[in-house]
Amino acid sequence: MKTFTVRKGGGTDYAPGWHTNTISKASYGEYGDNKYIDVWFDSYNDNFKLRVYEKMNKEGEEFAISNLFRFANAGITDALDSGDKNMVVKFDDDANGLVGKTIHVYYYKDKKGYTAVLNQVAPTPFTNVADTFTDKDTVYYKNKAESYYQRFILPRIHKATEGSVVNSMNTTGDIPF
């Protein structure tokens, strides 16, 4: 005699769109010469994660992973006004500092039809020594991330799926399986 398990409880929402998630764990990794951080969420399977690759600006400062910490209100230890309306922020980039933090994440269907997480996140409202994010700011960063999705991610999905649509219309009357 054999057995099998029927998973019950559900409650995990993989629908496309914005979700507010709490980070359950995070860790750094490398793919070739590229550094990244993976982030997992409470109540989601371990195979579902956010991956953010390191990106540098013209001045040589990393900004993609830094924005993850910034928007998660994680590891921020100090901030200094640079005198030119900018703020120099000191933060601890230990991945464990993200655990327990809440962010807004955008889900979409990838080229294979699986739910994926956009690599740009939005903050929840909070105030710390460097920033104050309101509901209005959250909307701004959500719109910015959606624009990135529309301009860069969605065209790749459409290109990858062109020609892969199979005509499922059965005109012979035969059972299609």
Mean pLDDT by 10 residues, the chain (177 residues): 68 92 98 97 95 96 97 96 88 98 97 96 97 98 98 92 52 44
Q: Is 5 a domain residue?
A: no
Q: Is 173 a domain residue?
A: no
Q: Is 29 a domain residue?
A: yes
Q: Is 11 a domain residue?
A: no
Q: Is 119 a domain residue?
A: yes
Q: Is 169 a domain residue?
A: no
Contacts of 8 (CB under 8 A, 6+ apart): none
> Containing domain of residue 77, as a range?
17-161
Q: Is 48 a domain residue?
A: yes
The two structure tokens encoding residue 11 = 């409650």
Residue 166: the pLDDT is 44
Q: Total structural domains in the chain?
A: 1
121 closest CA partner among 55, 51, 27, 171 = 51
Residue 72 — φ and ψ, nearest 5°?
-90, -5
- Measured between alpha carbons, how far is 136 from 148 in angstroms, rounded to an integer? 19
Q: Is 127 a domain residue?
A: yes
CA distances from 57 to 10, 54, 65, 110, 116 (A): 41, 10, 12, 27, 26
